[in-house]
Amino acid sequence: MTTYYTREHEWIAVNGDTGTVGITGYAQEQLGDITFVELPAAGDTLTKGAAVSVVDSVKAASDVFTPVSGTVVEHNSALEDTPELVNTAAETDGWLFRISLSQKGELDGLMDADAYRTYTDSL
């Protein structure tokens, strides 16, 4: 499994033709306590860069953008009752949705972990 990152602070862990998407630890720290997560529905067709979800926190509401194009195959229903999972496990159990990638080549424009760390260190 390979994980990629966006400049908008999403991550995608890719296994074959499926990716698990969430927001990064950096993003959840900036947002503060997460109070609600709006998730895309299974079957939704997404286009890279489109706003597909909203994360509400005590500080602000923030759009989540899909890092790749594809079809949602599942969302993390645990977040409906426990949105704070995004705070406690942003890059593991706090994932948002899984997507079947329609254009794997879109991954080429994303950052690896080292590049993302360098990027956030510069902010």
Query: pLDDT, tens digit, for every residue of 12-57?
Result: 999 999 999 999 999 999 999 999 999 999 999 999 999 999 999 9
Give residue 43's pLDDT. Answer: 98
What SS3 class is residue 112?
A: coil
29 C-beta neighbours (distance < 10 Å), count: 12
- Which among 25, 37, 21, 38 has a CA at the least distance from the CA of 97? 21
The helix or strand, by DSSP H or E, that contains position 20, with its residue range, turns out to be: strand 18-23
- Which among 115, 22, 28 has a CA at the least distance from the CA of 75? 22
Give residue 68's pLDDT. Answer: 98
| Architecture of the 2-105 domain | Beta Barrel (2.40)
Q: Where exactly are the structural domains of the chain? A: 2-105
What pTM was computed for the model? 0.96
